[in-house]
Structure 1
Amino acid sequence: MNELDAKDVLNRYMDGKDNVKPDVLEASFSDDGIVTFEINTPNISFPDEIVGNKRISEVMFGDFHELFGQVKSYYLDQNFSQLNECKVVDQHWLVSMREKASGNTRIGSGTYNWLFEQQNQTWVIKRVHIVIDHMVSFEENSGWLDRLQAELSDYPWAEKPTMMGLISSQPELSNILEYLKR
Protein backbone atom coordinates (compact mmCIF):
# COMPACT_ATOMS: atom_id res chain seq x y z
CA MET A 1 0.00 0.00 0.00
CA ASN A 2 1.29 3.47 -0.82
CA GLU A 3 0.25 6.97 0.28
CA LEU A 4 -1.99 7.52 -2.77
CA ASP A 5 -3.86 4.28 -2.05
CA ALA A 6 -4.34 5.29 1.60
CA LYS A 7 -5.59 8.76 0.68
CA ASP A 8 -8.00 7.26 -1.85
CA VAL A 9 -9.55 4.95 0.77
CA LEU A 10 -9.73 7.72 3.37
CA ASN A 11 -11.29 10.14 0.87
CA ARG A 12 -13.94 7.57 -0.09
CA TYR A 13 -14.75 6.88 3.56
CA MET A 14 -15.23 10.56 4.37
CA ASP A 15 -17.22 11.21 1.19
CA GLY A 16 -19.56 8.34 1.99
CA LYS A 17 -19.90 9.23 5.68
CA ASP A 18 -20.37 12.98 5.37
CA ASN A 19 -22.18 13.29 2.06
CA VAL A 20 -24.94 10.75 2.70
CA LYS A 21 -23.65 8.12 0.30
CA PRO A 22 -24.26 4.80 2.06
CA ASP A 23 -23.16 2.80 -0.99
CA VAL A 24 -19.79 4.60 -1.06
CA LEU A 25 -19.33 4.07 2.69
CA GLU A 26 -20.24 0.39 2.37
CA ALA A 27 -17.75 -0.07 -0.50
CA SER A 28 -15.02 1.59 1.59
CA PHE A 29 -15.01 -1.38 3.99
CA SER A 30 -14.19 -5.05 3.53
CA ASP A 31 -17.19 -7.36 3.72
CA ASP A 32 -16.20 -8.30 7.28
CA GLY A 33 -14.93 -4.82 8.23
CA ILE A 34 -15.09 -3.71 11.84
CA VAL A 35 -15.61 -0.30 13.42
CA THR A 36 -14.94 0.08 17.14
CA PHE A 37 -15.48 3.19 19.24
CA GLU A 38 -13.94 4.68 22.33
CA ILE A 39 -16.16 7.55 23.40
CA ASN A 40 -14.75 9.89 26.04
CA THR A 41 -17.56 12.45 26.00
CA PRO A 42 -21.15 12.08 27.22
CA ASN A 43 -23.05 13.84 24.43
CA ILE A 44 -22.77 11.40 21.53
CA SER A 45 -23.18 7.66 21.31
CA PHE A 46 -22.44 4.79 18.96
CA PRO A 47 -22.37 1.05 19.58
CA ASP A 48 -19.06 -0.26 20.93
CA GLU A 49 -18.55 -2.33 17.77
CA ILE A 50 -20.12 -2.57 14.32
CA VAL A 51 -19.28 -5.60 12.15
CA GLY A 52 -19.72 -5.96 8.39
CA ASN A 53 -19.72 -3.30 5.70
CA LYS A 54 -23.51 -3.34 5.25
CA ARG A 55 -24.14 -2.92 8.98
CA ILE A 56 -21.47 -0.20 9.23
CA SER A 57 -23.22 1.74 6.49
CA GLU A 58 -26.64 1.30 8.12
CA VAL A 59 -25.53 2.40 11.58
CA MET A 60 -23.45 5.34 10.42
CA PHE A 61 -26.41 6.57 8.38
CA GLY A 62 -29.28 5.49 10.61
CA ASP A 63 -30.13 8.19 13.09
CA PHE A 64 -26.94 10.18 12.56
CA HIS A 65 -27.99 12.05 9.43
CA GLU A 66 -31.52 12.45 10.79
CA LEU A 67 -30.03 14.29 13.78
CA PHE A 68 -27.22 16.23 12.09
CA GLY A 69 -26.84 18.19 8.88
CA GLN A 70 -24.07 20.12 7.18
CA VAL A 71 -21.60 17.43 8.30
CA LYS A 72 -17.98 17.96 7.30
CA SER A 73 -15.14 15.96 8.83
CA TYR A 74 -11.46 16.67 8.38
CA TYR A 75 -8.26 14.67 8.70
CA LEU A 76 -5.77 16.90 10.52
CA ASP A 77 -2.57 15.03 9.76
CA GLN A 78 -1.07 12.77 7.16
CA ASN A 79 1.16 10.39 9.10
CA PHE A 80 1.58 7.49 6.71
CA SER A 81 4.68 6.06 8.37
CA GLN A 82 3.10 2.63 8.95
CA LEU A 83 1.70 1.98 5.48
CA ASN A 84 4.11 -0.94 5.08
CA GLU A 85 1.89 -2.63 7.71
CA CYS A 86 -1.27 -1.31 5.98
CA LYS A 87 -1.94 0.98 8.97
CA VAL A 88 -2.49 4.64 9.70
CA VAL A 89 -2.40 5.34 13.43
CA ASP A 90 -3.33 8.24 15.70
CA GLN A 91 -4.73 10.29 12.85
CA HIS A 92 -6.38 13.36 14.36
CA TRP A 93 -9.76 14.43 13.03
CA LEU A 94 -12.30 17.15 13.61
CA VAL A 95 -15.99 17.06 12.68
CA SER A 96 -18.23 20.09 12.21
CA MET A 97 -22.00 19.87 11.88
CA ARG A 98 -25.35 21.41 12.67
CA GLU A 99 -27.88 19.86 15.05
CA LYS A 100 -31.13 19.76 13.09
CA ALA A 101 -33.45 20.03 16.10
CA SER A 102 -31.78 22.95 17.89
CA GLY A 103 -29.79 24.59 15.10
CA ASN A 104 -26.73 24.47 17.37
CA THR A 105 -23.26 24.00 15.97
CA ARG A 106 -21.49 20.85 17.05
CA ILE A 107 -17.73 20.32 16.87
CA GLY A 108 -15.96 17.10 17.81
CA SER A 109 -12.42 15.78 17.76
CA GLY A 110 -10.49 12.59 18.30
CA THR A 111 -8.33 10.08 16.47
CA TYR A 112 -8.64 7.30 13.94
CA ASN A 113 -6.59 4.09 13.86
CA TRP A 114 -6.93 2.35 10.50
CA LEU A 115 -6.07 -1.10 9.16
CA PHE A 116 -6.43 -1.63 5.40
CA GLU A 117 -6.51 -4.68 3.15
CA GLN A 118 -6.81 -5.32 -0.54
CA GLN A 119 -10.11 -6.83 -1.70
CA ASN A 120 -10.86 -7.43 -5.39
CA GLN A 121 -7.91 -5.28 -6.52
CA THR A 122 -9.11 -2.33 -4.36
CA TRP A 123 -7.83 -1.13 -1.03
CA VAL A 124 -10.54 -1.07 1.64
CA ILE A 125 -10.82 -0.57 5.38
CA LYS A 126 -10.50 -3.81 7.34
CA ARG A 127 -10.77 -2.17 10.75
CA VAL A 128 -11.03 1.32 12.18
CA HIS A 129 -10.95 2.31 15.83
CA ILE A 130 -12.56 5.72 16.30
CA VAL A 131 -11.73 7.66 19.44
CA ILE A 132 -14.12 10.53 20.19
CA ASP A 133 -12.41 12.70 22.80
CA HIS A 134 -14.51 15.86 22.58
CA MET A 135 -17.98 16.79 21.30
CA VAL A 136 -19.14 20.34 21.97
CA SER A 137 -22.55 21.79 21.17
CA PHE A 138 -23.06 25.54 21.21
CA GLU A 139 -25.40 28.18 19.90
CA GLU A 140 -24.08 30.45 17.19
CA ASN A 141 -26.09 32.48 14.74
CA SER A 142 -23.26 34.39 13.14
CA GLY A 143 -22.60 32.02 10.24
CA TRP A 144 -19.35 30.84 11.83
CA LEU A 145 -19.89 27.20 10.82
CA ASP A 146 -20.51 28.21 7.21
CA ARG A 147 -17.33 30.31 7.18
CA LEU A 148 -15.31 27.52 8.83
CA GLN A 149 -16.38 24.98 6.24
CA ALA A 150 -15.89 27.41 3.34
CA GLU A 151 -12.38 28.27 4.53
CA LEU A 152 -11.34 24.60 4.57
CA SER A 153 -11.36 24.09 0.83
CA ASP A 154 -9.14 20.98 0.66
CA TYR A 155 -11.89 18.78 2.15
CA PRO A 156 -11.46 16.29 3.79
CA TRP A 157 -7.87 17.35 4.56
CA ALA A 158 -6.94 20.31 6.78
CA GLU A 159 -3.70 21.38 8.35
CA LYS A 160 -3.87 21.27 12.13
CA PRO A 161 -2.45 24.83 12.59
CA THR A 162 -5.04 26.19 10.14
CA MET A 163 -7.86 24.42 11.97
CA MET A 164 -6.60 25.65 15.32
CA GLY A 165 -6.57 29.22 14.02
CA LEU A 166 -10.11 28.91 12.73
CA ILE A 167 -11.62 27.45 15.90
CA SER A 168 -9.70 29.72 18.29
CA SER A 169 -12.36 32.44 17.86
CA GLN A 170 -14.96 30.30 19.64
CA PRO A 171 -14.44 30.22 23.44
CA GLU A 172 -16.68 27.12 23.66
CA LEU A 173 -13.99 25.20 21.78
CA SER A 174 -11.10 25.88 24.19
CA ASN A 175 -10.89 22.20 25.24
CA ILE A 176 -10.70 21.09 21.61
CA LEU A 177 -8.06 23.75 20.89
CA GLU A 178 -5.95 22.50 23.82
CA TYR A 179 -6.43 18.91 22.66
CA LEU A 180 -5.19 19.77 19.15
CA LYS A 181 -2.09 21.48 20.55
CA ARG A 182 -0.79 18.13 21.80
Structure 2
Amino acid sequence: MITLKKSIETYIRAKDGNRPFLIADAFTADAELTMQVNTSEISFPATVNGAKAISKVLVSEFAERYENVYTFCIGDPPAAGPSFSCDWLVCMSEKGTGLARAGFGRYDWLAAENSGQVRQLRITIEAMTTLPQDTVEPILQWADALPYPWCPRERLGKEVPKITAIDRIRAALA
Protein backbone atom coordinates (compact mmCIF):
# COMPACT_ATOMS: atom_id res chain seq x y z
CA MET A 1 0.00 0.00 0.00
CA ILE A 2 1.22 3.48 -0.81
CA THR A 3 0.77 6.45 1.50
CA LEU A 4 -1.18 9.64 0.90
CA LYS A 5 2.16 11.49 1.00
CA LYS A 6 3.46 9.35 -1.86
CA SER A 7 0.21 9.83 -3.84
CA ILE A 8 0.49 13.62 -3.45
CA GLU A 9 4.13 13.58 -4.53
CA THR A 10 3.23 11.42 -7.54
CA TYR A 11 0.45 13.85 -8.52
CA ILE A 12 2.85 16.82 -8.31
CA ARG A 13 5.44 14.96 -10.40
CA ALA A 14 2.77 14.03 -12.97
CA LYS A 15 1.39 17.56 -13.28
CA ASP A 16 4.63 19.51 -13.18
CA GLY A 17 6.51 17.11 -15.46
CA ASN A 18 3.73 16.37 -17.97
CA ARG A 19 3.57 12.69 -17.04
CA PRO A 20 -0.12 11.76 -17.41
CA PHE A 21 0.56 8.04 -16.96
CA LEU A 22 1.49 8.65 -13.30
CA ILE A 23 -2.02 9.81 -12.33
CA ALA A 24 -3.22 6.18 -12.25
CA ASP A 25 -0.67 5.55 -9.48
CA ALA A 26 -1.80 8.58 -7.45
CA PHE A 27 -5.62 8.46 -7.85
CA THR A 28 -8.25 5.75 -7.63
CA ALA A 29 -9.94 4.99 -10.96
CA ASP A 30 -13.18 6.60 -9.72
CA ALA A 31 -11.56 9.61 -8.00
CA GLU A 32 -13.38 12.93 -7.87
CA LEU A 33 -11.80 16.34 -8.38
CA THR A 34 -13.66 19.51 -7.43
CA MET A 35 -12.28 22.97 -8.09
CA GLN A 36 -13.17 26.34 -6.70
CA VAL A 37 -11.57 29.07 -8.79
CA ASN A 38 -11.66 32.49 -7.12
CA THR A 39 -9.92 34.37 -9.93
CA SER A 40 -10.63 35.16 -13.57
CA GLU A 41 -6.96 34.62 -14.51
CA ILE A 42 -7.36 30.87 -15.05
CA SER A 43 -10.24 28.46 -15.57
CA PHE A 44 -10.94 24.81 -14.89
CA PRO A 45 -14.10 22.70 -14.77
CA ALA A 46 -15.83 22.68 -11.37
CA THR A 47 -15.95 18.86 -11.20
CA VAL A 48 -13.96 16.11 -12.91
CA ASN A 49 -14.71 12.42 -12.34
CA GLY A 50 -12.28 9.55 -12.79
CA ALA A 51 -8.50 9.30 -12.87
CA LYS A 52 -8.39 9.38 -16.69
CA ALA A 53 -10.38 12.61 -16.85
CA ILE A 54 -8.32 14.13 -14.02
CA SER A 55 -5.16 13.23 -15.92
CA LYS A 56 -6.50 14.91 -19.04
CA VAL A 57 -7.47 18.15 -17.27
CA LEU A 58 -4.65 18.54 -14.73
CA VAL A 59 -1.78 17.08 -16.73
CA SER A 60 -2.28 16.82 -20.50
CA GLU A 61 -4.37 19.95 -21.13
CA PHE A 62 -2.43 21.89 -18.49
CA ALA A 63 0.87 20.98 -20.20
CA GLU A 64 -0.44 22.31 -23.52
CA ARG A 65 -0.51 25.81 -22.01
CA TYR A 66 2.20 25.86 -19.32
CA GLU A 67 5.82 24.84 -18.86
CA ASN A 68 8.56 25.24 -16.24
CA VAL A 69 5.96 24.31 -13.63
CA TYR A 70 6.87 24.22 -9.94
CA THR A 71 4.08 23.26 -7.53
CA PHE A 72 4.79 23.41 -3.81
CA CYS A 73 2.79 22.03 -0.93
CA ILE A 74 3.40 24.51 1.87
CA GLY A 75 4.30 22.99 5.23
CA ASP A 76 5.07 19.49 6.44
CA PRO A 77 3.96 16.38 4.54
CA PRO A 78 0.97 14.44 5.88
CA ALA A 79 1.35 12.03 8.74
CA ALA A 80 -0.60 8.79 8.75
CA GLY A 81 -4.29 9.12 8.05
CA PRO A 82 -6.65 9.37 5.12
CA SER A 83 -7.06 13.17 4.92
CA PHE A 84 -4.73 16.11 4.55
CA SER A 85 -5.02 19.82 3.72
CA CYS A 86 -2.32 22.32 2.83
CA ASP A 87 -1.73 25.59 1.06
CA TRP A 88 0.01 25.45 -2.30
CA LEU A 89 2.08 27.76 -4.49
CA VAL A 90 2.69 27.42 -8.22
CA CYS A 91 5.23 29.22 -10.43
CA MET A 92 5.36 28.59 -14.18
CA SER A 93 5.51 30.17 -17.62
CA GLU A 94 3.00 30.26 -20.47
CA LYS A 95 4.09 28.41 -23.60
CA GLY A 96 2.22 30.66 -26.01
CA THR A 97 3.25 34.05 -24.64
CA GLY A 98 6.35 33.46 -22.53
CA LEU A 99 4.70 35.32 -19.64
CA ALA A 100 5.25 34.26 -16.04
CA ARG A 101 2.43 32.95 -13.86
CA ALA A 102 2.28 32.60 -10.11
CA GLY A 103 -0.62 31.57 -7.95
CA PHE A 104 -1.69 30.01 -4.71
CA GLY A 105 -4.55 28.25 -3.04
CA ARG A 106 -5.43 25.22 -0.98
CA TYR A 107 -5.48 21.46 -1.48
CA ASP A 108 -7.86 19.19 0.45
CA TRP A 109 -6.99 15.53 -0.05
CA LEU A 110 -8.88 12.37 0.92
CA ALA A 111 -7.29 8.97 0.34
CA ALA A 112 -8.87 5.57 -0.07
CA GLU A 113 -8.04 3.74 3.14
CA ASN A 114 -7.32 0.45 1.40
CA SER A 115 -4.78 1.86 -1.10
CA GLY A 116 -3.50 5.29 -0.02
CA GLN A 117 -4.47 6.62 -3.45
CA VAL A 118 -6.40 9.88 -3.68
CA ARG A 119 -10.15 9.35 -3.98
CA GLN A 120 -11.15 12.99 -3.57
CA LEU A 121 -9.23 16.18 -4.23
CA ARG A 122 -10.57 19.68 -3.78
CA ILE A 123 -8.40 22.41 -5.28
CA THR A 124 -9.11 26.01 -4.35
CA ILE A 125 -7.37 28.62 -6.49
CA GLU A 126 -7.29 31.86 -4.52
CA ALA A 127 -5.15 33.85 -6.94
CA MET A 128 -3.33 33.44 -10.24
CA THR A 129 -1.24 36.33 -11.48
CA THR A 130 0.12 36.87 -14.98
CA LEU A 131 3.45 38.70 -15.02
CA PRO A 132 5.71 40.12 -17.74
CA GLN A 133 8.29 38.03 -19.58
CA ASP A 134 11.18 39.72 -17.77
CA THR A 135 9.96 38.19 -14.50
CA VAL A 136 10.10 34.58 -15.72
CA GLU A 137 13.77 34.02 -14.94
CA PRO A 138 13.81 35.49 -11.41
CA ILE A 139 10.57 33.74 -10.45
CA LEU A 140 11.73 30.37 -11.76
CA GLN A 141 15.17 30.76 -10.17
CA TRP A 142 13.46 31.47 -6.83
CA ALA A 143 11.17 28.45 -7.31
CA ASP A 144 14.10 26.24 -8.25
CA ALA A 145 15.89 27.15 -5.00
CA LEU A 146 12.90 26.22 -2.79
CA PRO A 147 12.53 22.74 -1.26
CA TYR A 148 10.34 20.70 -3.62
CA PRO A 149 7.55 19.66 -3.42
CA TRP A 150 7.23 20.15 0.39
CA CYS A 151 8.23 23.72 1.20
CA PRO A 152 8.34 25.02 4.77
CA ARG A 153 6.41 28.28 5.07
CA GLU A 154 9.45 30.14 6.40
CA ARG A 155 11.48 29.28 3.27
CA LEU A 156 9.12 31.26 1.02
CA GLY A 157 10.76 34.52 2.16
CA LYS A 158 14.30 33.46 1.34
CA GLU A 159 15.81 34.98 -1.79
CA VAL A 160 12.38 36.10 -2.99
CA PRO A 161 12.58 38.22 -6.16
CA LYS A 162 11.64 41.88 -5.82
CA ILE A 163 8.33 41.55 -7.66
CA THR A 164 5.26 43.08 -6.04
CA ALA A 165 2.90 40.25 -7.08
CA ILE A 166 5.24 37.65 -5.55
CA ASP A 167 5.45 39.67 -2.34
CA ARG A 168 1.63 39.63 -2.15
CA ILE A 169 1.49 35.86 -2.75
CA ARG A 170 4.21 35.20 -0.19
CA ALA A 171 2.43 37.42 2.37
CA ALA A 172 -0.86 35.60 1.76
CA LEU A 173 0.86 32.26 2.43
CA ALA A 174 2.73 33.50 5.54
TM-score, scaled relative to structure 2: 0.90
Percent identity over paired residues: 26
**Equivalent in 133, 142, 148 of residue 148 of structure 1:** 142
Partner of 2:108 in structure 1?
A: 113
Q: Deviations over 1:82-132 (max 9, x none)?
A: x44x1002x01101100112211100100100000145xx42001010000
Q: 1:52: Cα distance to partner? A: 0.5
TM-score, scaled relative to structure 1: 0.86
Q: Is the 8 A contact 1:164 1:180 kept in 2?
A: no
Partner of 1:26 in structure 2?
A: 24
Structure 1 residue ranges without an equivalent (≥5): none
Q: 1:155: Cα distance to partner? A: 1.6
Structure 1 letter corresponding to 2:141: R
Partner of 2:126 in structure 1?
A: 133
Moved more, 100-109 or 136-145: 136-145
User: 1:164, 1:140 → 2: CA distance?
Assistant: 22
User: 2:157, 2:49 → 1: CA distance?
Assistant: 34
SS of match in other structure, 2:116: strand
Q: Across the two proteins, how many residue pairs are aligned to each other?
A: 173
Partner of 1:99 in structure 2?
A: 94
Structure 2 letter corresponding to 1:172: A
**Equivalent in 157, 165, 169 of residue 162 of structure 2:** 169
The correspondence of residues 29-108 of structure 1 with structure 2, limited to 5 A, is 29-78=27-76, 80=78, 83-84=80-81, 86-89=82-85, 91-108=86-103
User: 1:167, 1:38 → 2: CA distance?
Assistant: 28
User: 1:18, 1:40 → 2: CA distance?
Assistant: 22
User: 1:47, 1:177 → 2: CA distance?
Assistant: 27
Which structure exhibits the higher relative contact order, with contacts defined as CA atoms closer than 8 Å and separated by 6 or more residues? 2
Structure 2 residue ranges without an equivalent (≥5): none
Q: 1:176: Cα distance to partner? A: 1.3
Quickly say closer, same or farther: Cα 1:79–1:66, change in 2 above 3 A: closer
Quickly say closer, same or farther: Cα 1:167–1:36, change in 2 above 3 A: farther
User: 1:59, 1:180 → 2: CA distance?
Assistant: 26
